[in-house]
Amino acid sequence: MSHHRIAFDQVRYAYPDGTQALDGVTFRLVHGESVGLVGANGSGKSTLLSHLNGLLLPQTGLVTVGEVPVRRETLADIRRHVGLVFQDPDDQLFMPTVLEDVAFGPLNLGMSPAEANNRALQALEAVGSASLAHRPPQHLSLGQRSAVAVAAVLALEPDVLALDEPAARLDPRARRRLIGLLKGFRHTKIVASHDLDLVLDLCDRVLILKDGRLLKDGPCRELLSDLRLLDEAGLEAPLSLGLIAPDGVRRPGPSAFC
């Protein structure tokens, strides 16, 4: 059974203060897809990611990973297959050394300490951070911590990799390195980000959220070139598309001609 597929069916979720964070979201992800999740602040991106591995459970509707519905009783299975990389690596790296932190997940899967360390070292190799194995996470640079946070999730060998603002607060070089790293992974990926250039670089498809609803789902380059759509979603076109002239005047995207 493949866990690479994800389905959201009419998922709704409201926070206790009444904010309707997800309002009838429906989409499918298939094996090997790389999907961007974009939207203005408060559009529901992080809430949606939290539903992928059951940190939040839908109040109505259904989330399925492979054939398994995300429910309280299936969480252990779901979390083996969906790895979530948090926005702030400090939230994720809590063990005394990088190696222990990356081995944390494999140990929880029941591996022996030797196996878990091997797996952790492989994951650190994959992100080019093996030399940091014995350093305390809090003494690393933000770029290094971000790479280690990805390794900590990769060590679980998930089928689906979900990333919440992976390049937020990274300097341009660290951001570029992280993009290169993520491009190399063949996992099914879902990347929530305000950085539309990063989404354009990494993803073939994009989901645009607005006020907890799925505003549009389609090819990344096409949707991120649509200035009207982006404006409606409270977003701006990626700089790399050259749709904003240096003088700040917007050039029309494809649908502006319709």
Partner 1 sequence: MAVSGAARLAELDRLASGRSGLHALDARFKILLGLAFSFAVVSLPKYAFLRLLPLTLFPLAAAAWGALPPARLLKKALPAAGVALALGAFNPFFDASPLHFNGLALSGGWVSLAGLLLRAVLVAFMALLLIAATGFSALCDALAGLGAPRLFTEQLRLLWRYADLLAEEGARLSRARDLRDPLRRSRGPRIAGHLIAALLGRSLQRAERIHDAMLCRGYAGALHRPSPRRPCAREWAVLALGLALVAALRFAPFPDFVAGALP
Give the bridge partners for 14, in sequence order: 20
Encoded tokens for 156: 């679980």
Q: Which is nearer to partner 1, 139 or 251 (CB)?
A: 139
Q: Which of 80, 145, 177, 210 binds partner 1 (CB under 8 A)?
A: 80
81 counts as binding partner 1 under rule CB under 8 A? no
138 counts as binding partner 1 under rule CB under 8 A? yes
Q: Which of 79, 81, 187, 189 binds partner 1 (CB under 8 A)?
A: 79
| Helix, strand, coil in percent for the chain, rounding step 5 | 40, 25, 35
Q: What is the DSSP letter of 66?
A: T
Q: Which of 44, 105, 143, 253 binds partner 1 (CB under 8 A)?
A: 105
Q: What is the DSSP letter of 231?
A: H
153 counts as binding partner 1 under rule CB under 8 A? yes
**CB of 179 vs partner 1, minimal distance in Å:** 22
139 counts as binding partner 1 under rule CB under 8 A? yes
Q: How far apart are CA 218 and CA 98, in angstroms?
A: 38
94 counts as binding partner 1 under rule CB under 8 A? yes
190 counts as binding partner 1 under rule CB under 8 A? no
| Contact present, 64 and 6 (Cβ < 8 Å) | yes
3 counts as binding partner 1 under rule CB under 8 A? no
90 counts as binding partner 1 under rule CB under 8 A? yes
**Per-residue exposure over 14-38, b if at least 16 CB sit within 10 Å of its own CB, e if not:** eeeeeebbbbebebebeeebbbbbb
| Contact present, 162 and 50 (Cβ < 8 Å) | no
Give the bridge partners for 163, in sequence order: 85, 191
Q: Which is nearer to partner 1, 153 or 203 (CB)?
A: 153
Chain residues binding partner 1 by CB under 8 A are 50, 53, 55, 76, 79-80, 83-84, 86, 88, 90-92, 94-97, 100, 104-105, 107-109, 113, 116, 136, 138-139, 152-153, 156
